[in-house]
A and B are shown apart, each in its own frame.
Chain A
Amino acid sequence: MNKKVKWSVISVSTVTFFTFGGLVARHQAGTNVQNDSTQDTNRHAYHDKFNDDQGDTFGFTDGGEQDDDSFDQGQSSDWGQDHFQQAPSGGFEQDHGSSGSSR
């Protein structure tokens, strides 16, 4: 008999806890925007796309990598070797299609 009571109390407590927890979580998700399913979906989309660098530590989601400032070399394109040379000491006359530092 004692065992039955004990299990009943545990069951009721568990159900109550999860119900209460669920209500709290739902309430928190709805505080910043109106309780509108379209807006909610949109908001999740924005979270996925733009708001993913909000954590305490700085992390990137592209490919699940951490930003440690070390980059993979030569994986994504076939750029080949750079060409180094001494810069010219003069130049051509400019026309309207000239690109310089912001002017």
Chain B
Amino acid sequence: MIFRSMNSKIILEGMKPEIQEQMKEEILHFEQTASRFIKGNALDFVNSASLHSPIFMEQELFELLKRSLRLAKLAHYYVHPFVGEEMKNAGYVSSFSERELIFETPMSDSTNERSLPFRLPVELLTNQWIIKKQPFSFDFGGFGKGLIVDRLKERFYKDEENWLVNAGGDLLINGTMTAGIEHPVHMGQDMIRLQLENAALATSGKNYRKWNNGHHILNGRTGKPANNGVLQASVIAKTVMEAETAAKIFCILPYKEARALLQKNFPGIAYFVYFEDHQLVTGGNPALYKEMEVAR
């Protein structure tokens, strides 16, 4: 089954048709709650709320916030969900499926200021209640897509079945299946094939969703597009949320720093990093995949 949701092409393959229907329903429902591009939804309500007043978040959205914050902290807030305004300022004001981006002013990158101090602009009061302490709006982006796919795994996992969910390149494998990593230059072809067992694979890159000199991967500590010489990074992890966060870190920080941070805080990953000079680096835990084949 193939359909569009969350600004991405969603592929459900290998599971029974009735399970596919249930999964599709969950994904579409989640999109209605958490998409930044749907006016009047639960996220829009939170984003429009005023400062210094208690705000109630729907359970699903609050769960997304909690899981995002856990990962953002491990990522030293180079990746976090408080970038809605920065994304708008960067020209990402509507869904990519709706129109091409128009952004007249060339964007500066964050090479020279990649580590500004970060303070949480929100306080979690108690279950489902928060207070905005500074002006911001949420853009959960990959966190949101990761959460809904991870939840499908939590809900529909079956030991004896082989199936996959591909949410715009964020992949979740139940059982054992072959996965590919797209070539960032020769798009439409896979540069690597490997076998995954009960794992997630996510890819972030600067070769897609870009405009003028900009792209959509922002350094969370500066609010500006990251420029670190990495064109694309793919990460295998236990969950899509982890894989997605780690892949973004590789696209933001200088490679050595990204590797050191991830080795410390995300030790259970394997990675494939493609640099702008066309070097390919593989590393991490090789036990997470089998039968890797690299194209020529």
Contacts and interface: CB of A to CB of B under 8 A. Distances in A.
**Are chains A and B native binding partners rather than an unrelated pairing?**
yes
Interface of A: 32-33, 39, 42-43, 46-47, 50-51, 53-58, 60, 62, 67, 69, 71-77, 79-103
A84 B261 contact: no
Q: For chain B, which range describes its interface: under 10, 10 to 19, 20 to 34, or 35 or more residues?
A: 35 or more
Interface of B: 7-9, 11, 13, 54, 66, 69, 73-74, 76-77, 115, 117-120, 123-127, 131, 133, 142, 145, 164, 166, 168-171, 173, 177-191, 193, 201-209, 216, 232, 234, 257, 259-261, 263-265, 267-268, 274, 278-285, 293-296
B180 A98 contact: yes
B180 A75 contact: no
Contact of A100 (B54, B169, B261): B169
Contacts of B189: 90-94
A84 to B, nearest CB: 5
Given A54-B119, A69-B115, A99 B181 contact: yes
Contact of B170 (A53, A90, A99): A99
Interface centre among A51, A53, A87, A90 (most CB of B within 10 A): A87
A92 B296 CA distance: 9
Given A54-B133, A100-B181, A100-B205, 11 more contacts: A51-B120, A51-B124, A62-B73, A76-B264, A76-B267, A82-B259, A84-B280, A88-B294, A97-B178, A98-B179, A102-B203
Contacts of B264: 71-72, 75-76
Contacts of B193: 92
Contacts of A62: 73-74, 265
Nearest to B181: A99
Interface centre among A72, A75, A88 (most CB of B within 10 A): A88
B285 A77 contact: yes
